[in-house]
A = this chain, B = another copy of it.
Amino acid sequence: MDSVPNYIIGVDLGGTNIVSLLMSRDGKILARDARRSLAKEGKERTISQIVTSVREILREGERLKVFSKAILGVGIGSPGPLNTKEGVIHFAPNFPGWIEVPLMQILRDELNLPIFLENDANAAALGEWWLGAGKGVDNLVLLTLGTGIGGGIIIEGEVLHGAWDTAAEIGHMIIHEGGLTCGCGKQGCLEAYASATGVVKRTLAAIEKGEKTLLINLVENRLEDITCELIFKTAEKGDSLARWIVEETARYLGIGINIINPEMVILSGGMIAAGDTLFKPVRKYAQENALAAAIKEVKIVPAALGGNAGAIGAAATVLKKKSLL
């Protein structure tokens, strides 16, 4: 009999949903729970949702004869900035009231299991590295393209944490100093240009300037209904403004992909549904914007684990902390 517990739990704490997984050490998913994070109802409510979700998973486990003592620990992928060593979340932009929350301590007391904390984008990168698009690739960057742009960097198979656990803020790399104002207050961040929010903003700005586009009719003049998804779909239909916006977005992303010199860049988030419409120009601009030697073989691919990446990576964090991966 193996004396090391064989199972792990991964929790992905998102602004909208909490996803929890019970996994075996060899990467099989045995149970899954998804529920609302209810972030707007306050910190206690969300923490209680996490606890309920993990308990649900533990109950599922018991039905499968996987008992608590067979569980190595619980990994939590959380928005940050946070301190992975002390298990404290400094603050979380979409979670009102979360300031210096000692989540590791709180959950350890509630669940009586070892708890490990990881930044959500780092967890997603680790998940894709362990079981997804980045399997076997030891130097990779993952960009999550959503409301914002998150980033996780894996170097030699390890998550890059930097000195204060805030590394890989790739969304806040400045690619056009003095340019568009970002949600973080700075000007010219990659996120201000190439996040879903940035794509919509740039489109609305162009429409305001009088650019013609099918989009206006598609939303029956309710410009506030224009979404990033709609813009990408309209680009596929050949609309010239939408196509230009997608091309520009790809150019900004290509500019962002030229520093860390990874073997692979994984793009995740809703935007990747656009497929080749997005990936083809991103690959082109990444090549144009990088030193030849650095980028010559970089693979730019879509994430493979979908909504489970964060929770899988959070589970992998437990294995990493125990030096089992």
Binding site for B on A (CB under 8 A): 80-81, 90, 139, 155, 160, 162-164, 166-170, 172-178, 184, 186, 188, 251-252, 255, 258-263, 288-291, 293-294, 296-298
Contact = CB atoms under 8 A, between A and B. Distances in A.
- 4 nearest A-B residue pairs (beta carbon): A162-B261, A81-B293, A163-B263, A139-B163
Copies of this protein chain in the complex? 2
Given A251-B177, A291-B172, A261 B297 contact: no
Nearest to A193: B177
A108 to B, nearest CB: 24
Given A173-B258, A175-B177, A186-B288, 4 more contacts: A162-B260, A163-B263, A170-B259, A177-B252
Instruction: Provide the main secondary structure of the chain A interface.
Output: loop
Nearest to A186: B289
Contact of A166 (B163, B167, B174, B291): B291
Given A175-B177, A176-B177, A164 B293 contact: yes
Contacts of A297: 163-164
A192 to B, nearest CB: 12
A324 B56 CA distance: 50
A163 B294 CA distance: 8
A294 B258 contact: no
A289 B184 contact: no
